[in-house]
């Protein structure tokens, strides 16, 4: 893995800066940056691919104006002549030290280039810069054409026909990627709630003994529907039936929410069987409370409206230091919401175990309480209901119906989780569990206000309404909001 001599000249740097800065997956939008180094890995494949394509991965180090830096992975396709079919994916045109004048494209848009990656998996390629790991048990369809998924924010995924899916991690760092690590563990445990892992790619970081994991190959969930879109459809069905309650509408989602709660609990149990389980005592809980309090202070600087609720929010964090028992912690999803779920004919699947991409790897793999994942999903139900409400904007009656849908599905999800997890006594949360869940839910809502302020200001009312509710509920009111409710699901 060596830096290409001509790869950092001004022409190439400017082209890569334009390409990275405009990419949906770039996490540094709004910040000034420059390309500082480009490291070219070995060519993917033994020679030219179909249509004369050469392909390789460039690891691009960018530096922000504050001195911090990140590394992004760019799979690029090199052609001696322009390819009209790839005009939309053009990165630039320059002189390559090895190939001469080239037209350079984003390789993930090019089926001839991505075929080289699939062939690498098939033969288990192992070279000085790239190692394709393969898990036995599935024969790849090498004739399948690829297509790039649209809409992803932090990574890029390519599906090969109806056979498999390759996820390419855009921002990369040395160490084990949790998405690969967890998928590998859950595939080994034969979990029915994840797509099976078929393989992954890594690059040795020469001279360090570390590796950088670049991509994974997994089962393609061809019958799957996105959980977020299904939830939105259910809310729209409710709003279309002005005289019916949520449990009376044909598109009622509560049974699916209940089943998703069961699936979440079973994945948590499987993870507890595959990774070490630890315990947090007083010191760790004080540190957790302090970290949440710091995030709140930072958030108030961005969203001043949080200030009027600060006392109630801090009280939710302070309660973490009063727990009667140590807290069991383990590996979790760590960025859990409806958009990380897929509904298939065989049930719910959980996807994207990478954790929050903005956080350092050390934080993303750190054990945490399962109630953080549960809180994330509870917030997601709230978001689904009120996101549709924001589009409709028809006053108090719609607002009431949105709240009704959110409460029904949050309750159903939690009931499913409690039923399957065995983490509670009976069908209710313990006092300690309520404190944990509330603190994590508040922490997530605070994060959401900052995100919306910076990215979707018109949606900031969604988390702010949750903040107001959570800040002014006492423990009994919070417990009542999730009390088991007969008829909450129509299984």
153-173 pLDDT, tens per residue?
Answer: 789 999 999 999 999 999 999
Q: Domain check: are 317 and 421 in the same one?
A: yes
Q: Domain check: are 212 and 231 in the same one?
A: no
- Closest-CA residue to 366 (of 172, 201, 181): 181
Q: Domain check: are 44 and 185 in the same one?
A: yes
Number of domains making up the chain: 2
Would you mind telling me the total number of residues written for the chain in this entry?
Answer: 491
What's the CATH number where 253 sits?
Answer: 3.90.1200.10
pLDDT category at 7 given cuts 50, 70, 90 is: very low
Angle (CA) 452-458-460 rounded to 5° is: 40
Residue 431's region, left for phi above 0, alpha for psi from -120 to 50, else beta, is: alpha
Cβ within 8 Å of residue 399, ≥6 positions away:
389
pLDDT category at 5 given cuts 50, 70, 90 is: very low
Rounded to the nearest integer, the mean pLDDT of the chain is: 91
Question: What whole-number distance in Å separates Cα of residue 155 and Cα of residue 178?
Answer: 14
The pLDDT tens digits for 110-155 are 999 999 999 999 999 999 999 999 999 999 999 999 999 876 678 9
Find the distance separating the first CA and the last CA of the chain, reported in whole Å.
55
pLDDT category at 488 given cuts 50, 70, 90 is: very low
Q: Domain check: are 14 and 101 in the same one?
A: yes
Domain boundary among 167, 197, 219: 219
- Closest-CA residue to 178 (of 123, 144, 216): 216
Q: Is the pLDDT of residue 187 over 70?
A: yes
Q: Is the pLDDT of residue 14 over 60?
A: yes
Q: Is the pLDDT of residue 98 over 80?
A: yes
Q: Torsion over CA of 255, 256, 261 and 265, rounded to 10 degrees?
A: 110
Which residue bears the tokens 């924010």?
153
pLDDT > 90: percent of the chain: 77
pLDDT value of position 393 = 59
Angle (CA) 241-481-414 rounded to 5° is: 85
Tokens of residue 379, six digits: 């917030």
299-312: average pLDDT? 97
Question: What whole-number distance in Å separates Cα of residue 402 and Cα of residue 388?
Answer: 8
Question: What whole-number distance in Å separates Cα of residue 332 and Cα of residue 371?
Answer: 9
Beta-bridge mates of residue 216: 167, 200
pLDDT value of position 483 = 64
91-106: average pLDDT? 95
Q: Domain check: are 348 and 239 in the same one?
A: yes
**Do residues 235 and 405 touch, judged by C-beta distance below 8 A?**
yes
Of 22-36, 67-81, 277-291, the least confident: 22-36
Q: Torsion over CA of 203, 206, 209 and 214, rounded to 10 degrees?
A: -20
pLDDT category at 395 given cuts 50, 70, 90 is: low
Q: Domain check: are 88 and 27 in the same one?
A: yes
Domain boundary among 170, 200, 219: 219
pLDDT value of position 412 = 95
Q: Domain check: are 373 and 230 in the same one?
A: yes
Q: Which domain holds residue 88?
A: 2-219
Q: Is the pLDDT of residue 3 over 60?
A: no
Alpha-carbon distances, residue 433 vs 293, 301, 355, 369 (angstroms): 19, 30, 22, 10
- Tell me 460's DSSP state: T
2-16: average pLDDT? 70
Beta-bridge mates of residue 102: 94
Q: Is the residue at 491 inside a domain? A: no
Question: What whole-number distance in Å separates Cα of residue 21 and Cα of residue 25?
Answer: 9
Question: What whole-number distance in Å separates Cα of residue 320 and Cα of residue 439?
Answer: 7
- Tell me 338's DSSP state: G
Alpha-carbon distances, residue 417 vs 19, 95, 139, 264, 485 (angstroms): 43, 57, 35, 7, 14
Q: Would you call 377 exposed, middle or buried from its count of C-beta atoms within 10 A (0-12, 13-18, 19+)?
A: buried
Q: Is the residue at 488 inside a domain? A: no
Q: Is the pLDDT of residue 422 over 90?
A: no
Q: Is the pLDDT of residue 424 over 60?
A: yes
pLDDT category at 489 given cuts 50, 70, 90 is: low
Question: What whole-number distance in Å separates Cα of residue 411 and Cα of residue 125?
Answer: 49
The number of C-alpha atoms within 13 Å of 279 and in the hemisphere containing its C-beta is 5
pTM of the predicted protein model: 0.89
pLDDT value of position 358 = 75
Q: Domain check: are 231 and 187 in the same one?
A: no
pLDDT value of position 245 = 73
Q: Domain check: are 213 and 229 in the same one?
A: no
pLDDT > 70: percent of the chain: 95
Question: What whole-number distance in Å separates Cα of residue 278 and Cα of residue 392?
Answer: 46
pLDDT value of position 360 = 85
**Do residues 442 and 313 touch, judged by C-beta distance below 8 A?**
yes
Q: Is the residue at 329 inside a domain? A: yes
Q: Is the pLDDT of residue 307 over 50?
A: yes
Domain boundary among 219, 239, 273: 219
- Tell me 428's DSSP state: S
95-99: average pLDDT? 92
Beta-bridge mates of residue 279: 328
- What order of strands is seen across the sheet that includes strand 197-205? 131-134, 197-205, 210-219, 164-169, 155-160, 146-148
The pLDDT tens digits for 356-376 are 877 888 888 999 999 999 999
């Amino acid at each position: 893995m060596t830096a290409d001599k001509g790869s950092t000249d001004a022409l190439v740097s400017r082209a890569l800066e334009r390409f990275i800065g405009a990419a949906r997956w770039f996490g540094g939008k709004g910040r000034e940056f420059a390309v500082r180094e480009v490291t070219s890995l070995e060519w993917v494949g033994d020679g030219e691919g179909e249509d004369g394509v050469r392909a390789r991965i460039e690891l691009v180090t960018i530096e922000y104006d504050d001195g911090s830096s990140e590394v992004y992975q760019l799979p690029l396709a090199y052609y001696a002549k322009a390819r009209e079919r790839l005009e939309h994916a053009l990165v630039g045109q320059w002189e390559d030290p090895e190939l001469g004048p080239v037209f350079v494209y984003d390789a993930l848009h090019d089926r001839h280039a991505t075929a080289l990656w699939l062939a690498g998996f098939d033969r288990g390629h192992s070279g000085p810069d790239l190692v394709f790991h393969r898990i036995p048990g599935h024969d790849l369809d090498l004739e399948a054409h690829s297509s790039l998924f649209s809409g992803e924010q932090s990574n890029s995924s390519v599906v090969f026909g109806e056979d498999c899916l390759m996820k390419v991690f855009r921002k990369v760092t040395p160490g084990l990627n949790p998405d690969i690590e967890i998928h590998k563990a859950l595939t080994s445990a034969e979990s029915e709630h994840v797509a099976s892992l078929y393989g992954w790619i890594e690059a040795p970081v020469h001279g360090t003994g570390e590796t950088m994991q670049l991509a994974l190959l997994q089962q393609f969930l061809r019958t799957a529907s996105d959980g977020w879109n299904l939830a939105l459809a259910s809310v729209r069905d409710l709003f279309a039936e002005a005289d019916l309650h949520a449990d009376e509408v044909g598109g009622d989602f509560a049974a699916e929410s209940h089943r998703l709660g069961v699936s979440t609990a079973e994945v948590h149990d499987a993870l507890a069987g595959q990774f070490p389980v630890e315990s947090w005592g007083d010191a760790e809980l004080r540190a957790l409370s302090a970290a949440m309090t710091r995030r709140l202070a930072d958030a108030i600087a961005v969203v001043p409206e949080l200030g009027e609720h600060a006392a109630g929010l801090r009280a939710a964090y302070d309660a973490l230091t009063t727990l009667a028992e140590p807290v069991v912690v383990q590996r979790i999803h760590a960025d859990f919401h409806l958009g990380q779920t897929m509904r298939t004919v065989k049930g719910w699947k959980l996807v994207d175990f990478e954790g929050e991409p903005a956080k350092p790897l050390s934080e993303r793999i750190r054990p945490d309480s399962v109630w953080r994942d549960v809180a994330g999903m509870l917030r997601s139900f709230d978001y689904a209901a009120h996101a549709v409400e924001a589009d409709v904007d028809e006053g108090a009656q719609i607002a009431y119906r949105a709240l009704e849908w959110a409460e029904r599905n949050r309750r159903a999800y939690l009931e499913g989780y409690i039923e399957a997890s065995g983490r509670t006594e009976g069908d209710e949360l313990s006092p300690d569990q309520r404190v944990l869940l509330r603190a994590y839910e508040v922490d997530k809502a605070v994060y959401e206000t900052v995100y919306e302020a910076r990215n979707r200001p018109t949606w900031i009312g969604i988390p702010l309404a949750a903040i107001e509710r959570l800040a002014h509920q006492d423990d009994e009111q919070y417990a009542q909001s999730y009390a088991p409710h007969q008829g909450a699901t129509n299984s």
